Amino acid sequence: MTRKQRYQFVIDYFLHHAPDAETELLYDNPYQLLVAVILSAQCTDKRVNMTTPAIFEKYPDAASLSKATFDELFPLIRSISYPNNKTKHLIGMAQKLQTEFNGQVPLTVDELITLPGVGRKTANVITSVVDQQPNMAVDTHVFRVAARIGLTLNAKTPFAAEKQLIQNIPKELVHIAHHWLILHGRYTCVARNPKCEKCGITEVCKYYQKEVKPKKG
């Protein structure tokens, strides 16, 4: 099987089985999504979704969040991983939105990564989810799943994986492919003991063909 055929099989599978895949973070606007994604670093979406309602109620926009003090915001995100850093990042992010972007979330990767707490992965999430730009956010799930299936070859870094995925996925599908891979990694192709018996793409998966199938046969 060629790499092109592998990609086509995976794309066709998810187009059929997950045509409406989307982020599991709950949000109503770009500002809320940005806050949620910053909080989601090394934290589950479920925990973030439990935490953000109180934040959005008290700080409904960048203007109000920019005026928050550390002691006011910290208790609201205490249950999130790395709450100290994320509290500082959220306040700094909101302040920069106010001073440099008129309180609006910019929708280019280059502008987004100038905000505190926003790296390339977060910027790719925002632009792909809000604006359906062909940007691929590579988190641990995407990195693992793409390598296991064989979509990426010898990609040592998330950026290397991102470039390979972008090159091989049709531009108009990149934004949703991000969710396909994340959700597949979150619920099926998990880090330990992947649920290959429930997976619909084992036919083209390098990991399954090399590690699992021989043991069964």
Do the two domains 3-21+136-216 and 30-131 of this chain adopt the same fold? no
pLDDT tens series, the chain, 217 aa: 899 999 999 999 999 999 999 999 999 999 999 999 999 988 999 999 999 999 999 999 999 999 999 999 999 999 999 999 999 999 999 999 999 999 999 999 999 999 999 999 999 999 999 999 999 999 999 999 999 999 999 999 999 999 999 999 999 999 999 999 999 999 999 999 999 999 999 999 999 999 888 877 5
Question: What pLDDT does residue 215 have?
Answer: 76
Cβ neighbours, 10 Å, residue 213: 13
Query: What does the DSSP assignment read for the chain?
Result: --HHHHHHHHHHHHHHH-TT----S--SSHHHHHHHHHHHTTS-HHHHHHHHHHHHHH--SHHHHHT--HHHHGGGGTTSSSHHHHHHHHHHHHHHHHHHSTT----SHHHHTTSTT--HHHHHHHHHHHH--S-----HHHHHHHHHHTSSSS--SHHHHHHHHHHHS-GGGHHHHHHHHHHHHHHTS-SSS--GGG-S-GGG-HHIIIIIHHHH-
| Positions at the binding site | 189, 196, 199, 205
Fold type of domain 3-21+136-216:
Endonuclease Iii, domain 2 (1.10.1670)
Active site residue 110: no
| Cα–Cα distance measured from residue 2 to residue 187, given in angstroms and rounded to the nearest whole number | 27
Active site residue 139: yes
197 Cα distance to chain centroid: 25
Question: What pLDDT does residue 126 have?
Answer: 97
**Which of 4, 20, 58, 139 is labelled catalytic?**
139
Question: What pLDDT does residue 217 have?
Answer: 59
**Domain 30-131 = CATH 3.90.870.10:** no
| Positions at the binding site for [4Fe-4S] cluster | 189, 196, 199, 205
Q: Where are the domains of the chain?
A: 3-21+136-216, 30-131
Question: What pLDDT does residue 135 have?
Answer: 96
**Which of 61, 67, 121, 163 is labelled catalytic?**
121
Question: What pLDDT does residue 1 have?
Answer: 85
Which SS3 state, helix, strand or coil, does residue 63 take?
Answer: helix
Residues contacting residue 185 through CB under 8 Å, at least 6 positions apart: 140, 141, 142, 144, 145, 191
Match 């994604």 to its residue by tokens: 37
Question: What pLDDT does residue 211 have?
Answer: 87
